[in-house]
Structure 1
Amino acid sequence: MTGMEEWAVLFDLDGTLVDTAPIWWSALGALIDARQPVPAGATDGLLGLTALEAVTTIHRRFGWSGLDPAEDVAEVEVAVRQRYRDGATSWHAEGLHLIAALRADGVPVGLVTSSSRYILDALMVHRGAPRFDVVVCGDDVQRTKPAPDPYLLAARRLGLPPARCAVVEDSPTGLASAVAAGCPVVMIGDHGQPPVVQVASLGRLTVPTLRQLASPAIHQASGDGPRQPTDS
Protein backbone atom coordinates (compact mmCIF):
# COMPACT_ATOMS: atom_id res chain seq x y z
CA MET A 1 0.00 0.00 0.00
CA THR A 2 1.42 3.34 -1.01
CA GLY A 3 -1.39 5.68 -2.08
CA MET A 4 -2.35 8.52 0.21
CA GLU A 5 -6.01 7.62 -0.24
CA GLU A 6 -5.44 4.22 1.31
CA TRP A 7 -6.42 3.80 4.92
CA ALA A 8 -7.23 1.08 7.43
CA VAL A 9 -9.12 0.42 10.63
CA LEU A 10 -7.53 -1.24 13.67
CA PHE A 11 -9.84 -2.74 16.28
CA ASP A 12 -9.20 -3.50 19.92
CA LEU A 13 -10.54 -6.91 20.99
CA ASP A 14 -11.53 -7.11 24.66
CA GLY A 15 -14.64 -5.09 25.37
CA THR A 16 -14.71 -3.70 21.83
CA LEU A 17 -15.40 -6.69 19.59
CA VAL A 18 -16.01 -9.32 22.28
CA ASP A 19 -17.41 -8.97 25.81
CA THR A 20 -14.59 -10.74 27.62
CA ALA A 21 -14.41 -8.85 30.93
CA PRO A 22 -16.83 -11.09 32.91
CA ILE A 23 -14.82 -14.17 31.94
CA TRP A 24 -11.52 -12.60 32.98
CA TRP A 25 -12.97 -11.27 36.24
CA SER A 26 -14.35 -14.74 37.02
CA ALA A 27 -11.00 -16.44 36.37
CA LEU A 28 -9.08 -13.86 38.42
CA GLY A 29 -11.66 -14.09 41.21
CA ALA A 30 -11.26 -17.87 41.27
CA LEU A 31 -7.49 -17.43 41.56
CA ILE A 32 -7.93 -15.19 44.60
CA ASP A 33 -10.68 -17.33 46.13
CA ALA A 34 -8.42 -20.38 46.11
CA ARG A 35 -6.16 -18.61 48.62
CA GLN A 36 -8.30 -16.18 50.57
CA PRO A 37 -11.77 -14.61 50.66
CA VAL A 38 -12.34 -12.28 47.72
CA PRO A 39 -12.87 -8.72 48.99
CA ALA A 40 -14.97 -6.11 47.22
CA GLY A 41 -13.00 -4.34 44.51
CA ALA A 42 -10.46 -7.15 44.20
CA THR A 43 -10.22 -6.71 40.43
CA ASP A 44 -10.66 -2.93 40.28
CA GLY A 45 -8.23 -1.10 38.03
CA LEU A 46 -7.31 -4.11 35.90
CA LEU A 47 -9.17 -3.09 32.74
CA GLY A 48 -6.89 -2.98 29.72
CA LEU A 49 -3.97 -4.78 31.40
CA THR A 50 -2.30 -7.90 30.07
CA ALA A 51 -2.83 -11.14 31.98
CA LEU A 52 0.66 -10.84 33.48
CA GLU A 53 0.10 -7.23 34.51
CA ALA A 54 -3.27 -8.09 36.07
CA VAL A 55 -1.91 -11.06 37.99
CA THR A 56 1.18 -9.15 39.11
CA THR A 57 -1.08 -6.36 40.39
CA ILE A 58 -3.15 -8.91 42.33
CA HIS A 59 0.01 -10.43 43.86
CA ARG A 60 1.15 -7.00 44.98
CA ARG A 61 -2.34 -6.04 46.19
CA PHE A 62 -2.64 -9.11 48.43
CA GLY A 63 1.00 -9.46 49.44
CA TRP A 64 1.62 -12.78 47.65
CA SER A 65 5.35 -12.20 47.54
CA GLY A 66 6.36 -15.86 47.60
CA LEU A 67 4.32 -16.96 44.58
CA ASP A 68 5.24 -17.00 40.89
CA PRO A 69 2.97 -14.72 38.82
CA ALA A 70 3.82 -16.61 35.63
CA GLU A 71 2.34 -19.82 37.05
CA ASP A 72 -0.85 -18.00 37.99
CA VAL A 73 -1.06 -16.41 34.54
CA ALA A 74 -0.92 -19.87 32.98
CA GLU A 75 -3.73 -21.06 35.27
CA VAL A 76 -5.90 -18.03 34.52
CA GLU A 77 -5.32 -18.23 30.77
CA VAL A 78 -6.22 -21.93 30.68
CA ALA A 79 -9.50 -21.14 32.43
CA VAL A 80 -10.28 -18.19 30.13
CA ARG A 81 -9.36 -20.10 26.98
CA GLN A 82 -11.64 -22.99 27.96
CA ARG A 83 -14.56 -20.61 28.56
CA TYR A 84 -13.96 -19.06 25.13
CA ARG A 85 -13.91 -22.47 23.48
CA ASP A 86 -17.10 -23.41 25.32
CA GLY A 87 -18.84 -20.41 23.75
CA ALA A 88 -19.23 -18.39 26.97
CA THR A 89 -18.91 -15.24 24.88
CA SER A 90 -19.17 -14.35 21.20
CA TRP A 91 -18.21 -11.69 18.69
CA HIS A 92 -20.50 -8.64 18.78
CA ALA A 93 -22.85 -8.66 15.80
CA GLU A 94 -22.34 -4.90 15.33
CA GLY A 95 -18.60 -5.40 15.04
CA LEU A 96 -18.96 -8.24 12.56
CA HIS A 97 -21.29 -6.10 10.46
CA LEU A 98 -18.87 -3.14 10.48
CA ILE A 99 -15.88 -5.32 9.62
CA ALA A 100 -17.81 -6.89 6.74
CA ALA A 101 -18.77 -3.42 5.45
CA LEU A 102 -15.15 -2.26 5.61
CA ARG A 103 -13.90 -5.33 3.78
CA ALA A 104 -16.60 -4.92 1.14
CA ASP A 105 -15.20 -1.40 0.53
CA GLY A 106 -11.66 -2.79 0.26
CA VAL A 107 -10.52 -1.25 3.54
CA PRO A 108 -7.84 -3.28 5.37
CA VAL A 109 -8.87 -4.32 8.87
CA GLY A 110 -6.55 -5.18 11.74
CA LEU A 111 -6.84 -6.48 15.29
CA VAL A 112 -4.60 -5.10 18.05
CA THR A 113 -4.96 -6.78 21.42
CA SER A 114 -3.04 -7.13 24.67
CA SER A 115 -4.28 -10.73 24.92
CA SER A 116 -1.88 -13.50 24.00
CA ARG A 117 -2.22 -15.43 20.74
CA TYR A 118 -2.95 -18.52 22.85
CA ILE A 119 -6.08 -16.77 24.15
CA LEU A 120 -7.07 -15.18 20.83
CA ASP A 121 -6.91 -18.50 18.97
CA ALA A 122 -9.79 -19.79 21.11
CA LEU A 123 -11.99 -16.95 19.78
CA MET A 124 -10.89 -17.22 16.18
CA VAL A 125 -12.30 -20.77 15.91
CA HIS A 126 -15.84 -19.47 16.59
CA ARG A 127 -18.22 -19.81 13.68
CA GLY A 128 -18.40 -16.49 11.88
CA ALA A 129 -15.22 -15.08 13.42
CA PRO A 130 -13.98 -12.16 11.31
CA ARG A 131 -10.91 -12.26 9.09
CA PHE A 132 -8.22 -9.66 9.71
CA ASP A 133 -5.45 -8.45 7.41
CA VAL A 134 -3.10 -8.07 10.35
CA VAL A 135 -3.21 -9.28 13.96
CA VAL A 136 -0.96 -7.97 16.72
CA CYS A 137 -1.14 -9.73 20.09
CA GLY A 138 0.43 -8.86 23.40
CA ASP A 139 3.20 -11.38 22.87
CA ASP A 140 4.19 -9.84 19.51
CA VAL A 141 5.78 -6.77 21.12
CA GLN A 142 8.10 -6.08 24.02
CA ARG A 143 5.86 -3.28 25.29
CA THR A 144 2.11 -3.59 24.97
CA LYS A 145 -0.63 -1.02 25.59
CA PRO A 146 -0.43 1.77 26.79
CA ALA A 147 2.90 1.92 24.91
CA PRO A 148 2.50 2.78 21.21
CA ASP A 149 4.30 -0.35 20.01
CA PRO A 150 1.25 -2.55 19.17
CA TYR A 151 -0.40 0.06 16.95
CA LEU A 152 2.90 1.08 15.38
CA LEU A 153 3.59 -2.54 14.51
CA ALA A 154 0.13 -3.05 13.02
CA ALA A 155 0.48 0.07 10.86
CA ARG A 156 3.94 -0.99 9.75
CA ARG A 157 2.70 -4.44 8.74
CA LEU A 158 -0.06 -2.81 6.70
CA GLY A 159 2.43 -0.47 5.06
CA LEU A 160 0.52 2.61 6.17
CA PRO A 161 1.44 5.60 8.37
CA PRO A 162 -0.32 5.50 11.76
CA ALA A 163 -2.23 8.67 10.85
CA ARG A 164 -4.04 6.65 8.15
CA CYS A 165 -5.08 3.92 10.60
CA ALA A 166 -8.31 4.70 12.45
CA VAL A 167 -8.43 2.91 15.80
CA VAL A 168 -11.55 1.67 17.59
CA GLU A 169 -10.95 1.30 21.34
CA ASP A 170 -12.92 1.07 24.58
CA SER A 171 -10.38 1.64 27.36
CA PRO A 172 -8.11 4.49 28.51
CA THR A 173 -5.14 2.13 28.22
CA GLY A 174 -5.89 1.41 24.58
CA LEU A 175 -6.58 5.07 23.90
CA ALA A 176 -3.19 6.04 25.31
CA SER A 177 -1.49 3.46 23.10
CA ALA A 178 -3.21 4.59 19.91
CA VAL A 179 -2.69 8.29 20.59
CA ALA A 180 1.00 7.71 21.37
CA ALA A 181 1.32 5.88 18.05
CA GLY A 182 -0.21 8.82 16.18
CA CYS A 183 -3.45 7.09 15.19
CA PRO A 184 -6.87 8.81 15.13
CA VAL A 185 -9.16 7.14 17.67
CA VAL A 186 -12.84 6.42 18.18
CA MET A 187 -13.76 5.51 21.75
CA ILE A 188 -16.76 3.25 22.37
CA GLY A 189 -18.77 4.56 25.32
CA ASP A 190 -18.56 7.77 27.30
CA HIS A 191 -15.09 7.98 28.83
CA GLY A 192 -14.92 11.75 29.17
CA GLN A 193 -11.91 11.98 26.88
CA PRO A 194 -12.44 15.04 24.65
CA PRO A 195 -11.41 15.85 21.97
CA VAL A 196 -11.31 12.12 21.11
CA VAL A 197 -14.28 11.04 18.98
CA GLN A 198 -16.72 9.04 21.11
CA VAL A 199 -19.75 6.97 20.13
CA ALA A 200 -22.28 5.34 22.43
CA SER A 201 -21.93 1.88 20.88
CA LEU A 202 -20.15 0.00 18.13
CA GLY A 203 -23.40 -0.10 16.17
CA ARG A 204 -23.26 3.70 15.78
CA LEU A 205 -20.04 3.53 13.76
CA THR A 206 -20.12 3.58 9.96
CA VAL A 207 -17.56 3.26 7.19
CA PRO A 208 -17.93 6.97 6.20
CA THR A 209 -17.35 8.03 9.82
CA LEU A 210 -14.14 6.02 10.02
CA ARG A 211 -13.00 7.20 6.59
CA GLN A 212 -13.44 10.81 7.67
CA LEU A 213 -11.48 10.11 10.85
CA ALA A 214 -8.53 8.85 8.81
CA SER A 215 -8.70 11.75 6.34
CA PRO A 216 -5.60 13.95 6.33
CA ALA A 217 -7.93 16.96 6.04
CA ILE A 218 -8.97 16.53 9.68
CA HIS A 219 -6.06 14.50 11.06
CA GLN A 220 -2.41 15.22 10.34
CA ALA A 221 0.52 13.17 11.52
CA SER A 222 3.00 14.91 13.82
CA GLY A 223 6.07 16.38 12.15
CA ASP A 224 8.15 14.25 14.50
CA GLY A 225 7.83 10.70 13.24
CA PRO A 226 6.49 8.13 15.72
CA ARG A 227 8.86 5.76 17.36
CA GLN A 228 9.21 2.35 15.76
CA PRO A 229 7.99 -0.70 17.68
CA THR A 230 10.24 -3.59 18.56
CA ASP A 231 9.21 -7.15 17.74
CA SER A 232 9.71 -9.56 20.59
Structure 2
Amino acid sequence: MNDLLLPARGLLFDNDGVLVDSEAGVVRAWTRWAVENDLDPVEVMLAVPGRRAADTVALFTAAHAVPAAVDRITRLELDDVAGTAAVPGVLELVPQLDGVPWAVVTSGVRELAGARLTAAGVPLPGVLVTAEDVTAGKPHPEPYLTGAARLDLPPADLVVLEDSPSGVAAGLAAGCAVLGIGELALQTAATAVVRDLTGVRWTGAGLLLPAAGLLRA
Protein backbone atom coordinates (compact mmCIF):
# COMPACT_ATOMS: atom_id res chain seq x y z
CA MET A 1 0.00 0.00 0.00
CA ASN A 2 1.36 3.44 -0.97
CA ASP A 3 1.01 6.81 0.73
CA LEU A 4 -2.35 8.42 -0.08
CA LEU A 5 -3.19 12.07 -0.72
CA LEU A 6 -6.68 13.30 0.17
CA PRO A 7 -7.10 16.58 -1.75
CA ALA A 8 -8.57 19.43 0.30
CA ARG A 9 -8.56 23.19 0.84
CA GLY A 10 -9.54 22.86 4.48
CA LEU A 11 -10.24 20.40 7.30
CA LEU A 12 -13.12 19.69 9.69
CA PHE A 13 -12.07 17.72 12.78
CA ASP A 14 -14.28 15.86 15.17
CA ASN A 15 -12.89 16.27 18.68
CA ASP A 16 -13.17 13.19 20.91
CA GLY A 17 -11.32 10.22 19.41
CA VAL A 18 -9.81 12.36 16.63
CA LEU A 19 -7.97 15.23 18.30
CA VAL A 20 -8.24 14.20 21.96
CA ASP A 21 -8.42 10.87 23.76
CA SER A 22 -11.12 11.36 26.37
CA GLU A 23 -12.47 7.81 26.35
CA ALA A 24 -11.66 6.93 29.97
CA GLY A 25 -13.36 10.07 31.29
CA VAL A 26 -16.36 9.60 29.03
CA VAL A 27 -16.84 6.02 30.23
CA ARG A 28 -16.54 7.02 33.88
CA ALA A 29 -18.99 9.91 33.56
CA TRP A 30 -21.65 8.07 31.58
CA THR A 31 -21.33 4.94 33.72
CA ARG A 32 -21.87 7.00 36.85
CA TRP A 33 -24.90 8.72 35.29
CA ALA A 34 -26.33 5.36 34.22
CA VAL A 35 -25.94 3.89 37.70
CA GLU A 36 -27.52 6.99 39.27
CA ASN A 37 -30.54 6.47 37.01
CA ASP A 38 -30.82 2.66 37.36
CA LEU A 39 -29.79 2.13 33.73
CA ASP A 40 -27.48 -0.47 32.19
CA PRO A 41 -24.11 1.28 31.72
CA VAL A 42 -23.21 -0.98 28.79
CA GLU A 43 -26.42 -0.12 26.95
CA VAL A 44 -25.94 3.58 27.62
CA MET A 45 -22.32 3.55 26.43
CA LEU A 46 -23.32 1.89 23.16
CA ALA A 47 -25.46 4.96 22.44
CA VAL A 48 -22.86 7.60 23.32
CA PRO A 49 -20.28 7.72 20.47
CA GLY A 50 -20.80 10.50 17.97
CA ARG A 51 -24.03 11.79 19.50
CA ARG A 52 -24.83 14.98 21.38
CA ALA A 53 -25.42 14.30 25.07
CA ALA A 54 -29.00 15.52 24.69
CA ASP A 55 -29.65 13.02 21.91
CA THR A 56 -28.21 10.15 23.95
CA VAL A 57 -30.05 11.12 27.14
CA ALA A 58 -33.32 11.39 25.20
CA LEU A 59 -33.10 7.67 24.45
CA PHE A 60 -33.29 6.84 28.15
CA THR A 61 -35.24 9.61 29.89
CA ALA A 62 -38.47 11.54 29.53
CA ALA A 63 -38.29 14.71 27.44
CA HIS A 64 -38.83 17.01 30.42
CA ALA A 65 -35.85 15.46 32.23
CA VAL A 66 -33.35 15.87 29.38
CA PRO A 67 -31.99 19.35 30.22
CA ALA A 68 -31.20 18.42 33.83
CA ALA A 69 -29.62 15.14 32.73
CA VAL A 70 -27.42 16.93 30.19
CA ASP A 71 -26.30 19.38 32.87
CA ARG A 72 -25.40 16.47 35.14
CA ILE A 73 -23.46 14.61 32.43
CA THR A 74 -21.63 17.78 31.42
CA ARG A 75 -20.58 18.44 35.02
CA LEU A 76 -19.36 14.85 35.46
CA GLU A 77 -17.31 15.09 32.25
CA LEU A 78 -15.89 18.52 33.09
CA ASP A 79 -14.76 17.18 36.45
CA ASP A 80 -12.82 14.45 34.64
CA VAL A 81 -10.89 16.28 31.92
CA ALA A 82 -7.48 16.24 33.62
CA GLY A 83 -6.42 12.96 32.01
CA THR A 84 -7.36 13.99 28.48
CA ALA A 85 -4.46 13.53 26.04
CA ALA A 86 -3.87 14.38 22.42
CA VAL A 87 -4.40 11.56 19.92
CA PRO A 88 -1.03 10.45 18.45
CA GLY A 89 0.08 12.71 15.61
CA VAL A 90 -2.23 15.61 16.48
CA LEU A 91 0.37 17.84 18.13
CA GLU A 92 2.56 17.43 15.04
CA LEU A 93 -0.22 17.99 12.48
CA VAL A 94 -2.04 21.00 13.91
CA PRO A 95 0.98 23.35 13.81
CA GLN A 96 1.21 22.64 10.06
CA LEU A 97 -2.23 24.21 9.58
CA ASP A 98 -1.19 27.84 10.07
CA GLY A 99 -3.12 29.74 7.41
CA VAL A 100 -5.17 26.67 6.48
CA PRO A 101 -8.96 26.86 7.04
CA TRP A 102 -9.81 24.31 9.72
CA ALA A 103 -12.46 23.85 12.37
CA VAL A 104 -13.51 21.50 15.14
CA VAL A 105 -17.04 20.12 14.76
CA THR A 106 -18.05 18.22 17.88
CA SER A 107 -21.17 16.74 19.42
CA GLY A 108 -19.96 18.01 22.79
CA VAL A 109 -20.99 21.29 24.39
CA ARG A 110 -18.68 24.29 23.97
CA GLU A 111 -17.35 24.40 27.54
CA LEU A 112 -16.44 20.71 27.52
CA ALA A 113 -14.86 20.79 24.05
CA GLY A 114 -12.66 23.72 25.00
CA ALA A 115 -11.67 22.14 28.30
CA ARG A 116 -10.61 18.89 26.65
CA LEU A 117 -8.62 20.60 23.90
CA THR A 118 -6.84 22.74 26.49
CA ALA A 119 -6.12 19.76 28.75
CA ALA A 120 -4.63 17.86 25.81
CA GLY A 121 -2.47 20.81 24.73
CA VAL A 122 -4.24 21.19 21.38
CA PRO A 123 -4.54 24.80 20.17
CA LEU A 124 -8.11 26.08 20.09
CA PRO A 125 -9.41 26.54 16.55
CA GLY A 126 -10.74 29.78 15.17
CA VAL A 127 -13.97 27.98 14.32
CA LEU A 128 -15.59 25.64 16.85
CA VAL A 129 -19.00 24.12 16.09
CA THR A 130 -20.60 22.50 19.14
CA ALA A 131 -23.88 20.97 20.26
CA GLU A 132 -25.29 24.42 20.98
CA ASP A 133 -24.81 25.55 17.37
CA VAL A 134 -27.08 23.05 15.62
CA THR A 135 -30.64 21.82 15.87
CA ALA A 136 -29.82 18.34 14.54
CA GLY A 137 -26.74 16.44 15.69
CA LYS A 138 -24.70 13.79 13.90
CA PRO A 139 -25.46 11.63 11.86
CA HIS A 140 -27.40 14.56 10.39
CA PRO A 141 -25.13 16.62 8.09
CA GLU A 142 -26.01 19.95 9.76
CA PRO A 143 -22.91 20.07 12.01
CA TYR A 144 -20.50 19.66 9.10
CA LEU A 145 -22.52 21.91 6.79
CA THR A 146 -22.31 24.54 9.54
CA GLY A 147 -18.55 24.07 9.79
CA ALA A 148 -18.14 24.40 6.02
CA ALA A 149 -20.24 27.56 5.96
CA ARG A 150 -18.20 29.14 8.76
CA LEU A 151 -15.00 28.36 6.85
CA ASP A 152 -16.62 29.81 3.72
CA LEU A 153 -15.70 26.72 1.71
CA PRO A 154 -17.89 24.25 -0.21
CA PRO A 155 -18.12 20.83 1.48
CA ALA A 156 -16.52 19.17 -1.54
CA ASP A 157 -13.30 21.10 -0.80
CA LEU A 158 -13.10 19.81 2.78
CA VAL A 159 -11.95 16.60 4.44
CA VAL A 160 -13.76 15.55 7.61
CA LEU A 161 -11.76 13.59 10.20
CA GLU A 162 -14.03 11.28 12.23
CA ASP A 163 -13.89 8.17 14.38
CA SER A 164 -17.56 7.25 14.97
CA PRO A 165 -20.03 5.75 12.48
CA SER A 166 -22.51 8.56 13.11
CA GLY A 167 -19.84 11.17 12.51
CA VAL A 168 -18.63 9.52 9.31
CA ALA A 169 -22.23 9.38 8.09
CA ALA A 170 -22.66 13.09 8.89
CA GLY A 171 -19.54 14.06 6.96
CA LEU A 172 -20.45 12.01 3.92
CA ALA A 173 -24.03 13.32 3.95
CA ALA A 174 -22.64 16.87 4.01
CA GLY A 175 -20.75 16.15 0.79
CA CYS A 176 -17.23 15.96 2.24
CA ALA A 177 -14.54 13.34 1.86
CA VAL A 178 -14.10 11.60 5.22
CA LEU A 179 -10.93 10.28 6.80
CA GLY A 180 -11.85 7.62 9.34
CA ILE A 181 -9.73 7.42 12.49
CA GLY A 182 -9.35 4.07 14.26
CA GLU A 183 -10.65 0.56 13.71
CA LEU A 184 -14.30 1.41 14.39
CA ALA A 185 -14.24 3.53 11.23
CA LEU A 186 -13.56 0.38 9.20
CA GLN A 187 -17.26 -0.40 9.67
CA THR A 188 -18.18 2.78 7.77
CA ALA A 189 -18.04 4.10 4.20
CA ALA A 190 -15.21 6.51 5.07
CA THR A 191 -13.09 7.50 2.08
CA ALA A 192 -9.97 6.16 3.81
CA VAL A 193 -9.15 4.93 7.32
CA VAL A 194 -5.98 5.42 9.38
CA ARG A 195 -5.01 4.08 12.78
CA ASP A 196 -4.42 7.60 14.13
CA LEU A 197 -2.81 10.81 12.87
CA THR A 198 0.79 9.68 13.29
CA GLY A 199 2.81 10.88 10.29
CA VAL A 200 -0.17 12.56 8.60
CA ARG A 201 1.00 15.78 6.90
CA TRP A 202 -0.58 18.82 5.28
CA THR A 203 0.98 19.32 1.85
CA GLY A 204 -0.76 22.50 0.73
CA ALA A 205 -2.90 20.40 -1.58
CA GLY A 206 -4.44 18.19 1.07
CA LEU A 207 -3.65 15.54 3.65
CA LEU A 208 -0.87 13.05 2.93
CA LEU A 209 -1.53 9.76 4.70
CA PRO A 210 1.50 7.51 5.28
CA ALA A 211 1.15 3.96 4.08
CA ALA A 212 2.27 2.66 7.49
CA GLY A 213 -0.81 4.10 9.17
CA LEU A 214 -3.42 3.20 6.56
CA LEU A 215 -6.02 0.62 7.58
CA ARG A 216 -8.00 1.08 4.37
CA ALA A 217 -7.38 3.17 1.26
TM-score range with shorter-chain normalisation? 0.7 to 0.9
**Residues 149-204 of structure 1, C-alpha deviations (whole Å, 9 max, x = no match):** 11111111111111111111111111111111111110012323346211122214
Among candidates 167, 170, 175, match of residue 174 of structure 1: 167
TM-score of the superposed pair, with normalisation by structure 2: 0.81
**Residues 104-133 of structure 1, C-alpha deviations (whole Å, 9 max, x = no match):** xx3222100011112123224437331313
Aligned partners of 1:101 and 1:144: how far apart in 2?
29
Tell me the residue number matched to 1:205: 200
Matched positions, count: 200
Give how far 1:40 is off: 4.7
Among candidates 127, 145, 149, match of residue 134 of structure 1: 127
Give how far 1:91 is off: 2.5
Give how far 1:212 is off: 5.9
Q: Does 1:120 align with 2:113?
A: yes
CA gap 1:162/1:37 in 2 versus in 1, 3 angstroms? closer
Aligned partners of 1:128 and 1:209: how far apart in 2?
24
Q: Runs of 5+ in structure 1 lacking a partner?
A: 60-64, 214-232
- 8 Å CA contact 1:199–1:205 kept in 2: the answer is no
Give how far 1:35 is off: 4.0
TM-score of the superposed pair, with normalisation by structure 1: 0.76
Q: Does 1:160 align with 2:162?
A: no
Tell me the residue number matched to 1:217: none
1:46-125 equivalent positions in 2, closer than 5 A? 46-59=48-61, 65=62, 68-84=65-81, 87-103=82-98, 106-125=99-118
Please give the secondary structure, in 2, of the residue aligned with 1:198.
strand
Most deviating of 161-170 and 131-140:
131-140
Tell me the residue number matched to 1:19: 21
Among candidates 142, 145, 151, match of residue 138 of structure 2: 145
Among candidates 7, 10, 20, match of residue 8 of structure 1: 10
Q: Larger radius of gyration, structure 1 or 2?
A: 1
Q: Runs of 5+ in structure 2 lacking a partner?
A: 1-6, 209-217
Give how far 1:18 is off: 1.0
Aligned partners of 2:76 and 2:207: how far apart in 1?
41
Letter in 2 for 1:94: G
CA gap 1:37/1:136 in 2 versus in 1, 3 angstroms? closer
Aligned partners of 1:176 and 1:194: how far apart in 2?
8
Most deviating of 30-39 and 74-83:
30-39
**Residues 18-74 of structure 1, C-alpha deviations (whole Å, 9 max, x = no match):** 112321221121122224374654422321111112222233xxxxx5971221111
- 8 Å CA contact 1:29–1:43 kept in 2: the answer is yes
Please report the RMSD computed on the Cα atoms of aligned residues, expressed in angstroms. 2.6
- 8 Å CA contact 1:99–1:109 kept in 2: the answer is no
